[in-house]
Copies of this chain bind each other. A is one copy, B any other.
Amino acid sequence: MIHPVQFIRSASDALQTLLYTHWKKYSQVVVMTDKNTSEHCLSHFRNTFVNRDFIHIPLPELTEENKKLRSIENIVAKLMYTQVDRNAAIVALGGGVVTDTVGFAASVYKRGIHLYLIPTTLLGMVDAALGGKTGVNFNGIKNQVGSFYFPREVIIDPGYLATLPRREWESGFAEMIKHGLIADYAYFEQLINRLAAGKMTDKLMEHIIRSVEIKMRIIQTDFREAGKRKILNFGHTVGHALETCALQSGTPLSHGYAVALGMAVETALSVEFAGLEKATSRKIIRRLLEVYPVPEGMDTAMTDCIMEAMKHDKKNSGGEPSLVLLQAPGMPVCNKKIPESEIREAINHTLFSV
């Protein structure tokens, strides 16, 4: 049921094999990049795909700000203009915003055509490109419109990370850290240590594989997020809201950074509402905020916005925020309904020391 993930460890051989075994069955192979990946990733892609014809459709820069239905409209118009038919394959080459947006377009264009994802950011490789969620934002609320749509394959080639800026490394590491907290505490500690030491590329492939394993194992049991998959939302209820408000206030925060802060708040709530040991909670929060300090200028003035944004969370039912908390490191628990006043207090106390 779940899609395969292919790791490219050496040069272009593996990709070549893939191409000639899988891709020759398509009428057309359409590679879509946004402005960023056209500049930084397309040449690596072209080198790998020497001698193979493909159609390249460049898109304008895709960001959280224009990850909207209008971009889907734009992509569909380009696909129609290029006369892309139902037996074509689309390859999305880019970070999480590109794979989410192009993935959604591929899932609805002629009611769905085959999709390959080549994530070019760490966040994409360990999270966004895995598990078949696609989507765009709506009225500033994240991923309100989208689909569950499996790519035929996700291709992970760390060669693309060579040009990745530091901010993006931090963002990817935050999701990996989450994998540690919900499934493997020793892995959490390893990652925090590497990040604190600025040695993010040490044992990188090993870490990516570990994160893919954890995420895919969870999704396998519940791909439509009826139950267990929800644990992947640890840090995200507060994190998404934070991301939304930071965006609205004109000082956008990377997704991972927002999730890291969200995990700190949700770890704090875990003491009273899930029985996490107080000392453990403190230690996790301290280590998180050490590598993801609360940005300058962000303060209690944002708390109202965060509380409001949380109401639109897809995971809510009946209006009350529903959180994933930790009973212990590696032991998450879902669907915890927490009173708003408690969440508000935890945000103010954990992030803004009030």
A residues with a Cβ closer than 8 A to B are 27, 69, 72-73, 76-77, 80, 83, 85-87, 104, 107-112, 133, 135, 138-139, 141, 143-148, 311-312, 314-319
Contact = CB atoms under 8 A, between A and B. Distances in A.
A147 B314 contact: no
Contact of A111 (B73, B76, B133, B316): B133
A85 B145 contact: no
24 contacts: A27-B317, A69-B69, A76-B138, A76-B144, A76-B145, A77-B138, A80-B138, A80-B141, A83-B312, A85-B316, A85-B318, A85-B319, A86-B315, A86-B316, A87-B318, A104-B108, A107-B147, A108-B146, A108-B147, A109-B144, A110-B144, A110-B146, A111-B148, A147-B147
A227 to B, nearest CB: 13
Nearest to A136: B108
A162 to B, nearest CB: 33
Given A317-B27, A318-B85, A112 B148 contact: yes
A74 to B, nearest CB: 11
A225 to B, nearest CB: 8
A146 B27 CA distance: 21
A111 B135 contact: yes
A146 B83 CA distance: 17
Nearest to A138: B76
A71 to B, nearest CB: 11
A111 B69 contact: no
Nearest to A316: B85
A72 B315 CA distance: 22
A130 to B, nearest CB: 15
A70 B312 CA distance: 22
Contacts of A133: 111
A133 B111 CA distance: 8
Contacts of A69: 69, 72-73, 76
Contacts of A87: 317-318
A76 B68 CA distance: 12
A111 B108 CA distance: 12
Nearest to A314: B110
Given A69-B72, A80-B139, A108-B108, A314 B145 contact: no
A112 B318 contact: no
Contact of A146 (B111, B314, B315): B111
A109 B319 contact: no
A85 B315 CA distance: 8
A116 to B, nearest CB: 18
Contacts of A146: 108, 110-111
A141 to B, nearest CB: 7
Nearest to A108: B145
Contact of A77 (B139, B318, B319): B139
Contacts of A83: 311-312, 319
A154 to B, nearest CB: 18
A314 B86 contact: yes
Nearest to A132: B111
A145 B105 CA distance: 9
A265 to B, nearest CB: 22
A27, A77, A108 pick with most chain B CB within 10 angstroms: A108
A85, A109, A147, A315 pick with most chain B CB within 10 angstroms: A85
